[in-house]
Amino acid sequence: MDLKQAIKFRSCREWLSTLPVFLLLLSVIIAGNGEQIHARLLNIGELIWHDYFSLRADIAIPDCNPDPDIKTELQKLEAEADSMDGMEDLFDASPFDRRTALISLQNARQLCIKKHHLAQQNQARVTNAVVIFRTLETSVAKISLFAFEKQRMILILTIFICAMSCSFKQQHIAFRPVVTLKDHRVSALAQVLGNAIMLFSAWFYRNNVYQSATVVDHPEIYLLLILGFSVLTAVSLFQLFKALFFHDFHKMGDSILHSMLSIPLYIFMTFFVGFYFFLIEGHWAGPAIFFSLLFDQAGLFLNIGLYIWVGMLLKRTQLGDLVFKVFIPWRMSPELLAFVAILVMAVPTAYTGASGIIIIAMGAIVYEELRRAGARRQLALAATAMTGSAGVVLRPCLLVVLIAALNKEVVTDQLFSWGLKTFMTTSLVFFIFAWLSRREKMHLASMQEAFKPFLRALVPLLPYALIVLLIYLSYFFLLNVTMDEFSAPVILPVIILGLIVYEKLFVRMVLVASPEKDAHKFEYTIRMATSESSVHIGALLLLMGLSFVLGGVIERSGLLTSIPDTFTSTWMTLSFLIVVLVGIGMIMDPFGAVVLVSGTVAQIAYHNGINPVHFWMITLVSFELGYLTPPVALNHLLTRQMVGHEETAKAALEGDNFWYRHEKILLPLATMGTTLLLVTIVPVLVS
Three-class DSSP category at 291: helix
29 within a domain of the structure (yes/no): no
370: in domain: yes
Q: Are the beta carbons of 635 and 356 closer than 8 angstroms?
A: yes
Kindly state whether residues 585 and 644 are assigned to the same domain.
yes
Same domain for 65 and 169, yes or no, is no
- In whole angstroms, what is the distance from residue 450 CA to residue 443 CA? 13
Write down which residue in 146, 173, 197 finishes a domain: 146
361, 504: one domain:
yes
User: Is the Cβ–Cβ distance between 531 and 14 less than 8 Å?
Assistant: yes
Q: What is residue 558's predicted lDDT score, i.e. its pLDDT?
A: 81
* Residue 16 within any structural domain of the chain: no
Say how far apart CA 410 and CA 605 lie, in whole Å. 13
**Do 352 and 480 lie in a common domain?**
yes
* Residue 609: domain span: 553-686
Average pLDDT over all residues of the chain: 87
- Could you give the number of structural domains in the chain? 4
Can you give the pLDDT at residue 518? Answer: 53
Question: What is the reported pLDDT for 524?
Answer: 85
* Domain end point (choices 545, 571, 587): 545
- Shared-domain flag, residues 519 and 557: no
Cα–Cα distance for residue pair 259/187, rounded to 1 Å: 8
**516 and 576 belong to one structural domain:** no
Distance CA 108, CA 66 (A): 9
Please list the ranges in the chain whose pLDDT falls under 70. 1-13, 82, 84-94, 96, 213-215, 247-254, 508-520
Tell me what pLDDT residue 127 has: 85
- Predicted confidence at residue 5, as pLDDT, reads 47
User: Alpha-carbon distance 58 to 54, whole Å?
Assistant: 8
Closest CA to 522 of 504, 537, 507: 504
Complete DSSP assignment for 398-439: HHHHHHHHH-TT--HHHHHHHHHHHHHHHHHHHHHHHHHT-S
Asked whether residue 116 is domain-assigned, the answer is yes
Last residue of a domain, one of 146, 163, 183: 146
Residues 484 and 341 both lie in one domain: yes
Query: Are 109 and 159 members of one domain?
Result: no
Amino acid identity, position 38: H
Give the DSSP letter string of 129-167: HHHHHHHHHHHHHHHHHHHHHTHHHHHHHHHHHHHHHHH
**Chain-centre distance for alpha carbon 126:** 43
The answer to whether residue 292 is domain-embedded is no
Supply the pLDDT for residue 656.
84
Q: Which residues pair with 264 in a beta bridge?
A: 174
pLDDT of residue 75: 76
Instruction: Tell me, yes or no, whether 7 lies in a domain.
Output: no
Note whether 342 and 384 are within 8 A (CB): no
* 187, 334 Cβ separation under 8 angstroms: no
For residues 535 and 458, membership in a common domain is answered with yes
Identify the pLDDT of residue 280.
Answer: 94
Q: Are 135 and 158 found together in one domain?
A: no
The model carries a pTM of: 0.85
Residue 417 resides in a domain? yes
CA distance linking residue 264 with residue 73, whole number of Å: 82
One domain for residues 280 and 318: no
Angle (nearest 5°) at CA 681 between 678 and 687: 120
How far is 519 from 254, CA to CA, in rounded Å? 40
439 and 344 housed in the same domain: yes
pLDDT per residue as tens digits for the range 170-181? 899 999 888 888
Residue 305 lies in a domain: no
How many helices (H) does the chain have, and how many strands (E)? 31, 0
